[in-house]
Chain A
Amino acid sequence: GQSLEQPSEVTAVEGAIVQINCTYQTSGFYGLSWYQQHDGGAPTFLSYNALDGLEETGRFSSFLSRSDSYGYLLLQELQMKDSASYFCAVRSLDSNYQLIWGAGTKLIIKP
């Protein structure tokens, strides 16, 4: 079967750097996505990794290691508005190319 694991909650200080990890189990892996969701809001797309390595988009970066079935989202220069839940989601042959989602990581930022 398929599964994704990510920490349920992470706490960091404003201005700091935080890393949210995601490990997955699936067959026919195609890519790993990251989404941000504020309380009461819609999930919004952050990044997608299909190949090993680091993808950088402004303050956010995402990393993938296919051999380790592992990825992470790195948030730099944290701002209070980054307080949200972050989801990793896998696209695979198992899921017929639909996204299978982790349970999400709640990021709490303290001043």
Chain B
Amino acid sequence: DAGVTQSPTHLIKTRGQQVTLRCSPKSGHDTVSWYQQALGQGPQFIFQYYEEEERQRGNFPDRFSGHQFPNYSSELNVNALLLGDSALYLCASSLGQGVRAGELFFGEGSRLTVL
């Protein structure tokens, strides 16, 4: 049973560039949520995709956008990168929009460094 997979695992960008991160959810899951985790902090909710639409969004600017494909995989795009965007980006999958019993399945994350 394949878990949540993310790519790339590490990447380095410069300020002003754009980045795309990818996520494949756990087999059987149809909902993908994206989180940003700064060093020494808890994950911060960016947005959630279900049925190929953004269903919920956290307090992140429009520079952060995403997409979900018919096979439930998802992309996170960040435009006009800032130094403060350096973080671990986590993808979490679940079945249905609600976080059933508070359980999310996470990928290993994509570590983004902005120089």
| CB atoms of A89 and B58 under 8 A apart | no
Contact among B43, B44, B45, B56 with A43 in the assembled complex (CB-CB below 8 Å):
B43
The interface residues of chain A lying within 8 Å CB-to-CB of B4 are 42
Complex Cα distance A104/B4, Å?
22
CB of A98 within 8 A of CB of B33, answer yes
Place the interface of chain A in its size category.
Answer: 20 to 34
| Minimal Cβ-Cβ distance residue in A for B3 | A42
Cross-chain contact of A100 among B41, B45, B104, B109 (Cβ < 8 A): B45
B36-48 interface mask toward A, CB cutoff 8 Å, 1 = contact, 0 = none? 0000111111001
Q: For this complex, into which size category does the number of interface residues on chain B fall?
A: 20 to 34
Chain A nearest Cβ from B42, distance in angstroms: 3
Contact with B along A53-69 (1 / 0, CB 8 A): 00000000000000000
Chain A residues within 8 Å of B109, by CB: 42
Given A43-B90, A101-B42, output 4 extra A-B contacts at Cβ < 8 Å: A42-B107, A42-B109, A45-B102, A100-B45
